Structure 1
Amino acid sequence: MKHIVVGTAGHIDHGKTTLIKALTGAETDTLHEEKKRGISINLGFTFFDLPSGRRAGIIDVPGHEKFIKNMLAGVSGIDVVMLVIAADEGIMPQTKEHLEILQILNVKKGIIVLTKKDLVDEDWFEMIKEDIKDQFAGTFLEDAKMIGVSSKTKEGIDELIAEVDKLTEESEAKDSQGHFRLPVDRAFSVSGFGTVVTGTIISGSVHVGDEMEIYPSRTKAKVRGIQVHGADAKIGEAGQRCAINLANVKKDDVGRGSLLAETDMLESSMMVDMNFYYLKSMKKPLENRQRVRVYQGTSEILGRVVILDKEEIKPGESAYVQLRLEEHITCQRNDRLVIRSYSPMHTIGGGSVIEPVASKSKRFKDDYIDELKVKEEGKLDDLIENALKNMSGEYPSEKEIVKSLGKNEEDVTNALQNLIEEGKVIKLTSLNTAAFLHRSFLKDKEEEISKILEVYHKNNPLKVGAMREEIKSKVFSKGLKQKQYDEILSIIEENQVISVKGEYVALATFEIVLSQDEKKIKDRIIDEYIKGKYTAPKEKELEALFKDKKAFKRVFELLIDQGELVKCAEDIYFTKKQFEDAKSMIIDFINKNGSVSAGESRELLDTSRKYVIAILEKLDAMKVTKRRENERILW
């Protein structure tokens, strides 16, 4: 079911609160000072049932310029606005500023309500309507219905209710499938219950028992209870005004400006990139690094505007800017921000968030600006590609990609699958949680590894390859898990860039080429082992046979690296064939007799106990055999 919030806007004393009372019978001015002064200071909340059966929440915002901060906190979650203009006064300064704010926030549906109609004659009323039509041309309200009402005589109230019902039907439903977010506009304590927060759910849904987080403080909370329009509920959905009772939270831990959201789904930041529109009504250009007030949801944060693609922003122009803030802000891509001047305070513009967790950038940096254009205009596939180009070195999970983009999880899953099928994204599946890499990241790593191996092979022509762990430490970040590294090496090997041989990595095209002298050394070493049978010669004994000791060392190590010599114990080696033959004889003996002793093995191999024990312990280590008292059995 679609849930809609209707809000008022307009100049002070134009009858917003009285109008809501006429519509609903409820009094939204509840503070003693409000009633005493006759103006709205804080936000007022109520609801009413429409003819269609829908229940709409209503937010009454203050009209006085001193309380614009409160007004902004209220209108940030509305779907339909009733812009209230007193028929006896017409458009006033706060009427214009409220309209500008509504446009910045991208409110699309609205009604122009001309209150106090009973105080003016028909000619005056028509003149006011014409003036409004002229001044609202080009705004989202240029074709909005104008309805004259009198809260005193109830004239026009039924027509207004019908129009509200019509616009709520036409309004887009908020995303109940997305991640839950509720900008907090009030927080208070209730005896026997604890801390309660209120606000309009701008996306997702919340259930009793859900674990939540308060941003930007990252305080953990649990939903103890929910009320929607004053009635207990088990669930609150996007578009509804809710009161949420939180467990494990003190009132001082949360207040207006906080954001209640799903645990670990958002990041706060002190830098935000946005497309900023500077109001046409401004008298002079906006200069770089001007100090401003930034409004998002129910929060107000001070900061400076760094203009990225222009020297200055002229009235009516848009530009890419980076907001450098004095406190953390928690927002998502496409959230709307309103910007006001620091002092004196007035609205100067606003726009849409492009990068909610921005990196500090210099001005006029073309590649950074191009990246912002992709983020702003690109399809989801483009956004994921762009994100992965920056995130691949962190080996992000799907959840982390969703968190970065602020997009629907199912949509991200489908887009990732498309990119995998197109060969643009690689999925690592070696851990319980899959990680995703952009193809360009892998290509860069392939090139980096290739350069390292080229140098290595040049300096070590008789080495099988570089140690795989050495490659890992030189090329990849510490956050890469061993299983993921092994998987990446396998992918690069499948791409025929490298060859992985046990603990060694070589270029796929690399071949060891022995000189004639080195070939002779190799053949002589193998012959000496064959002559010794299972009484293997020691390395020093072999070395003594050759004049070129360095050449012997190179060839001897090569035979070990290539697996042509099998090390069974310190300074005890056998040729690969010798070792495999010994293994077969021992296995056959165990299969026939159930077990083999060291003495029986010595007789089988016709050698001393020293060499037999070395072979048996090697087979134990390989899990071919295992020791049982003084015998070996098969593993």
Structure 2
Amino acid sequence: MSITISTAGHVDHGKSTLVEALTGVDPDRFAEEKARGLTIDLGFGSAPLPSGRSVSIIDVPGHERFIRNMLAGVGAVDACLFVVAANEGWMPQSEEHLRILELLGVSHGLIALTKVGLCDADIAELARLEVEERVEDTFLAGAPMVETDVVDDLGVDDLRAGLDDLVDRTPAAADLRRPRLWIDRAFAARGAGTVVTGTLTGGQIRVDDELELRPRGAVVRVRALQSHHSQRTKIGPGNRVAVNLSGVSHQEVVRGDVLVRAGQWHMTNRFDASLTVLSTLDHEVSRRGAHAIYVGACELPARMRILGLEALSPGEAGHVRLHLPQRLPLLPGDRFVLRESGRAETIGGGTVLDIDPVLAASRARPDLSIDRVVAERGWVEAERLALLTGQRREPDVGRWVVSPTVLKGSKARLRAAVDDAGPLGLDIAGLDEKDRAVLSLMEEMATEGGRVRPIGQSDPFENHRYTAALEAAPFTPPDPEAVGVDRSEVRELVKRGVVVEQDGVFFAASTLVAARSAVAEMLADQPDGVTVAEVRERLETTRKYALPLLAWLDGQGATRRRGDVRIAGPRL
């Protein structure tokens, strides 16, 4: 699995220096950045991890004047590396960056406490406590925090290990079979021509694919793909990717343009959304004033109407309708940030709800035929169709009336997605409501345990080889990599309760039952408690595995730690 993360944090807290230490690449590309020691635009790098994987890192500027560039970098990331300097502590852009990440729905992260060599240990500890307090009610609550100082090479290896863990904790990007690449950079490469970069979401792209460049509508062809400095023939969602294109000049491409597959996306310049106003704002938000929306890597002016209210107060949520000057390929569930252009401040953010808001009933067009509307839009809610045309038709799929051509294409796309998923099955959590509705019509598919497989295909997890490997060496369990098992399969085994993870170590569920029984026998003979060494000897294991086993027993209430020993817990 591959994910893309962004840095975040106040200016001059060491984000770029940290990225260079992790990737070997200076993310500050421009002479002005190097001269001023200040990141102005986005930088990119790929960091090798102890597991042998790599993670893509987007380095964003920390200065408040370049917050627009920061927003372009975090629009499609999976997780963040949040940076706070120990010698300065929490600062204004620390707060703004954290709020922006929350508005965009980023839910996983790792904290780096940088520059610890520039202050006393007491100051660093105060900074740590301050950061923990500031993130207490956010997605970073409880996130690992690594102390670093690049000058002394302190903590960089620990940070790599933390990033490895972050990759494991972050859910894989959903493959909807509808690729969408928000472009954040375009340039001409010698001997290759136009190259664009971005973070891929929604689906795979392959060499020789024909795609559309929106909003221009130009048809382009993928000549080559690169990710993590390697040439690829295909790339899936969640990856940073460089795409070599034919059919367009790099001068015709700007940040915020989008690559999509023709016919797969509804392009809209008007949508309804939920909007949450930042609680830290010092004024109400109304339709008045100039607003700018940030979605993906795109920045556009937006006209806003608050539905049912005149204004929203700080911390208040409501429904809004947004009008844009150009059409974008959006989906319900897409996240965005809204800023007030005149004040140059972030006012809030939200979630796209409806990409085709219904016209008022008084504006129904009886002259519009149902077939024409459905043919033009592909999917139309039956109730909306009645409002648009004054005529009624029973829904074909769920609550929608669907064009036969679009329905046929959706079924073919889902069959291909199930085939690509292999024995693991297609994770239904990654599908939107429409795809789930189509699947309910496909009699050749079966859904079990949250995954879709062709009927008759056996469940590959019933007698999985990793479970067998763990049961064969119960108290010295092998890592997934040692058995050649992908971590996505292990996550499924954990989800089913067949395998249990404790402190980064995987055990068969049967092993924990055996460990509980063995420790219970020991405590029956030694009611004053047993040591780690005694448990280690009884189970014929090592401290590496005895500690997480005992931690699991503590968590279950089977044992309780008292000094250097474990005594019987209330649930032994």
**TM-score, normalisation: structure 1:** 0.59
Shift of 1:395: 6.8
Match of 2:34, SS?
A: helix
Corresponding position of 1:81 = 80
Distance 2:170 2:380 in 1: 27
Higher helix share: 1
Match of 1:184, SS?
A: strand
What percent of counterpart residues are identical? 37
1:174/1:225 CA distance change after superposition, 3 Å:
same
Corresponding position of 1:397 = 403
Mapping of residues 202-351 of structure 1, within 5 Å: 202-351=201-350
Distance 2:69 2:92 in 1: 17
Corresponding position of 1:415 = 437
Root-mean-square deviation over aligned CA pairs: 2.8
Match of 2:129, SS?
A: helix
Distance 1:330 1:218 in 2: 12
Shift of 1:389: 6.1
Match of 2:194, SS?
A: strand
Distance 2:119 2:81 in 1: 20
1:403/1:252 CA distance change after superposition, 3 Å:
farther
| Partner amino acid, structure 2, of 1:226 | L
Runs of 5+ unmatched residues, structure 2:
364-378, 394-399, 418-430, 444-572
| Partner amino acid, structure 2, of 1:59 | I
CA contact (8 A) 1:82 1:112 kept: yes
Q: Deviations over 1:549-586 (max 9, x none)?
A: xxxxxxxxxxxxxxxxxxxxxxxxxxxxxxxxxxxxxx
Corresponding position of 2:26 = 27
Shift of 1:161: 1.2
Distance 1:154 1:110 in 2: 22
Distance 1:383 1:408 in 2: 20
Mapping of residues 115-264 of structure 1, within 5 Å: 115-264=114-263
Distance 2:177 2:192 in 1: 29
Match of 2:314, SS?
A: coil
Shift of 1:356: 2.3
1:229/1:419 CA distance change after superposition, 3 Å:
closer
Distance 2:237 2:439 in 1: 28
Number of residues paired by the alignment? 400
Match of 2:66, SS?
A: helix
Shift of 1:385: 6.0
| Partner amino acid, structure 1, of 2:403 | S
CA contact (8 A) 1:208 1:223 kept: yes
Corresponding position of 2:500 = none
CA contact (8 A) 2:27 2:45 kept: yes
1:184/1:390 CA distance change after superposition, 3 Å:
farther
Corresponding position of 1:16 = 15
Shift of 1:274: 0.6
Corresponding position of 1:516 = none
Query: Which one has more relative contact order, counting CA pairs under 8 Å at least 6 apart?
Result: 2
Match of 1:284, SS?
A: coil
Corresponding position of 1:476 = none
Distance 2:436 2:83 in 1: 45
Match of 2:61, SS?
A: coil
CA contact (8 A) 1:84 1:114 kept: yes
Match of 2:263, SS?
A: coil
CA contact (8 A) 2:186 2:195 kept: yes
Match of 1:326, SS?
A: strand
| Partner amino acid, structure 2, of 1:113 | A
| Partner amino acid, structure 2, of 1:156 | G
Q: Deviations over 1:138-183 (max 9, x none)?
A: 1111211222110111111122111111111111111234311110
Shift of 1:136: 1.9
Match of 1:185, SS?
A: strand
Shift of 1:314: 1.2
| Partner amino acid, structure 1, of 2:346 | T
Mapping of residues 104-123 of structure 1, within 5 Å: 104-123=103-122
Match of 2:70, SS?
A: helix
1:361/1:48 CA distance change after superposition, 3 Å:
farther
Corresponding position of 2:489 = none
Match of 2:186, SS?
A: strand
Distance 1:335 1:80 in 2: 16
Distance 2:58 2:231 in 1: 20
1:123/1:195 CA distance change after superposition, 3 Å:
same
The structure with the largest alpha-carbon Rg is 1
Shift of 1:399: 5.8
Shift of 1:419: 6.9
Match of 1:85, SS?
A: strand
Distance 2:132 2:140 in 1: 9
